[in-house]
Amino acid sequence: MPCDWPLLGPLQWIRYVNKQVKVKAGRDQEHRGWLLTVDPVSASLVLVTFKEQGGTSVQVVMGHAVEEVQILQEADQETTQRLQNSFLPPSACRLDLKEQTARKGQVRLWLEKNRVPVEEEGEELRVAGVLTITAPYGPDNCYSSNQIILDRIQKLIQNQPDPLETDSGSSESSRN
């Protein structure tokens, strides 16, 4: 019997992201790990396993070989952060909680100022229900299956003025 995994599509696949899964693929093959993402073209799964020695193992299971995907466990906040930070450059992870909160607020205000519908969902920002922005809230922290919206929001965040420049610029213009 052919598998329905490739036919499910991104809206169904997103339900499995950031969850520990067991994937049956091919003949008698079973893979376990935290589902980081699913390739929207090939339906391939990217599984991450955290090693006890501190390393990370990444495995790609080709979408056409998937026979069954079973959720084993939901990720807690620490595991979700660890998954998101696994592939970030070390400098991107250095914001403390106060700076992250301030950055999230700045991005939200910038999007609202540009008439983009945005809501806070815990530590994430959701744009129009189709795009997610995670800490540290930069262009590379935007995730969506809609490439057009993804590109536009990333460009908008890239073009966001630095709040320090904006403050000094407004005080100079008020003196003139």
pLDDT tens sequence across 108-147:
999 999 999 999 998 899 999 999 999 889 998 999 989 9
Give the C-alpha separation, 90 to 77, whole Å.
Answer: 19
pLDDT at 51: 86
Work out the average pLDDT over 29-36.
93
First to last CA, the chain: 75
Work out the average pLDDT over 21-50.
91
Give the C-alpha separation, 18 to 79, whole Å.
Answer: 8
pLDDT tens sequence across 71-100:
999 988 888 888 877 776 555 556 678 888
pTM given for the model: 0.51
Work out the average pLDDT over 164-172.
47
